[in-house]
Each structure stands twice: as C-alpha cells, then as structure tokens.
Amino acid sequence: MLLTVEKEKSDLVPILEIGHKRLCNCPPNNLNCLTAKEWIKSQIGVWQFYYEKRDIRDKEKHPATFPISLSKKVIELFTHVGELVVDPFIGSGTTLVAARDANRNAVGFDLQPKYIALCNERLMQAEMLNDTQQIALNDDARNIPAYFEPGSVGLIWTSPPYANLLNRVRKNKSMRSRKNAQLGKVEQYSQDERDLGTLPIEEWATAMGDIYEGLLPLLRPKGHCVINIPDMWWENERITLHLALVDELRRRGYELRNTIIWDRTNIVNNIGIFGYPSNYITMGTTFEYLLDFWKPETEEEKSQKKQVVKVKTKKLSPANVTIVESE
C-alpha cells in the first residue's frame, strides 16, 4: 500500500507501507538470528562465495554484479527475520532476491528503468516462500528518505557506482594480449548526469556523503550500513575509493565497525600479466572491500539505556527484597 505525505512545495511523495519489525523470537539485544556456530564462522574477515545458476554474470545485462550468496550473508548477519533492508543502488536486483531467500523485507532504488525491469523479472522467477515484500523503485537515491519513517530500516546494503571507474573504454594492457567481450567498450551504468558513476572521485565521495547523510536517520539505533567497493587504477595510480568512502561517511555521522575482504580469486579466470617485470600491482579483480558501518547511539539513547539498567538493578537489589519465612 502507498501513502502520501507533503514534501517541499506541496509535492506529494509516496511513503511505503512495508514490514520492518522482527518476526522472530530472538532476545531484544541480539544482532541477528544466527546460532553461535554460524556466528563464529562469520568472524573470519575474509569471505569467499560462488555463483549459482540464478546469478547474473552477463555484463550486457549489468556491468557490475555480485553473488546472491554474498548478499544473503550480509543480510542474515546484520538483520532479523522480518526486518527491512534498503539498497540505494539496486542494479540487477541481487539484494531483493537474497532478501526474499532470507525472509526479509527489502526495497531497492535505481535511476534506470531497464534495471528495475530486470529486478522485477528476477523476482518473478524467485520462489515466494514467505510473507515478506521485495520492491524495486525507479527513483534517485537522493529521494529515498521520503519513502520511510525514521528508525524503520534495519540494514542499508549496496554496491554503489564506482566513481568513473567504468566510464572509460576498456583497454588491454596485459602481456597475454587477452581479448574478451568487454574490450574497447564503455561498461558504464548510464550517462545520466545524476549517475554517480560519471563523477570523478572527489565529486563522487561528496555525492555519496550527501546520499548517506540522508539515509542515516532511517536506520534504527546501531543499525548497520554495508558497502561493497573496490579500489581502482587510473593512469598508473592507485585510487583508494574505499578510504575516500570511509572518511566521507565518518564525517556524515557513521561509525566504521569492520572491514571485510571479499576474496574473489575463486571466481576470477584467465588473469593477465600486468606490470611485469618492473611495476608490481595487485589485481583489483581478485578482491574487494565490504565496509561495515553502523548508526552510533546518541547521548540521549545512551542515557535512556543507563536509566533502564539502574531501574532493573534497583528492583533486583537485596536491600529491596523482603524474605518471608513460612512456618
């Protein structure tokens, strides 16, 4: 169901009526529904995943995709069953498919109608085994705050446009002179001026900061925000996108909690020889970063917690307990 509220200049903006509350019986302070055995496996800071038949690997459909299994792991690690996941740059819709698998509600946004159509196509093929909702919306990520109530989002998870990393003709600088379908092409999401993938890194970082500053109030206290990002080489210089993003989001109020490495060596084939024998560079296609932030508690929220603890302590204090002996 869609409701409407008044934004600026009497514009009617839809507010989504979608589930966001836990459907599990986990204790209130638990981060997720994982068992202790599942939790300890997730503590390893280097992750590997495999593609499955449902995954999209065709770059003609979308230039940058990731496995459903990666998205599902992030969702299950940082949310409970029934909670709400938001993907500001939904692309091929992997987050929505994974959310359906994990029994979470999810909403994804994208500028390009063709990607929204792709999302809906994938959702039509996915099994509907629960009562959660997964929705793809054709809108700018800058408009996301209008769709949700503050504190209703459990997780923000995405792989954003990588500055102007893809907005250039693909060249072959490998000594093996490999040829593939991408050679000589520009694998960009779009040339829309609103698309962050058209921006140089300085403008990109600022634009990302603007978007995520608007998303921060939507997160519940200590709600997580995870971003998949690689670094890039540009004119023989390493461009550290992940560091630019960490600095920018910290300035906007997020707290960095973890850095996880996505080890892609098991899914990368036919690696070329670059820089030999005088200029050593690591292959950017073999690993990417998963940056895990959260929304820190405000001083008011911390104070309220302390008050609750004091009340509980007072109630359980031996001085306040009357022992009645039976005859």
Each residue's pLDDT, cut to its tens digit, for the chain (327 residues) gives 333 333 443 356 678 999 999 999 999 999 999 999 999 999 999 999 999 999 987 777 766 688 999 999 999 999 999 999 999 999 999 999 999 999 999 999 999 999 999 999 999 987 777 889 999 999 999 999 999 999 999 999 999 998 665 555 445 554 445 555 554 454 444 556 667 878 888 899 999 999 999 999 999 999 999 999 999 888 888 999 999 999 999 999 999 999 999 999 998 877 788 888 998 988 888 999 999 999 999 888 888 877 766 665 555 555 554 545 544
Q: Residue 186 has what pLDDT?
A: 46
Give me 296's structure tokens: 């820190």
Going by their DSSP bridges, the two strands 237-239 and 46-47 should be labelled as unpaired
**Whole-angstrom distance, CA of residue 54 vs CA of residue 68:** 8
Sign of CA dihedral 175, 179, 180, 186: positive
Which amino acid, one-letter code, is at 63?
Answer: P
pLDDT at 232: 87
Distance CA 137, CA 216 (A): 20
pLDDT of residue 165: 59
Residue 224: exposure state from Cβ atoms within 10 A (0-12, 13-18, ≥19) = buried
Q: What is the pLDDT of residue 46?
A: 98
Predicted local confidence at residue 173, as pLDDT: 52
So what's the pLDDT on residue 312? 58
Exposure letters 100-118 (e unless 16+ CB within 10 A, then b): bbbbbbbbbbbbbeebbeb
Per DSSP bridges, beta strands 134-138 and 237-239 are unpaired
What pLDDT is stored for residue 130 in this prediction? 84
Domain ranges, ordered by start, for the chain:
2-320
Are 82 and 101 within 8 A, CB to CB? no
Span 2-320 CATH architecture: 3-Layer(aba) Sandwich (3.40)
pLDDT given at position 195: 73
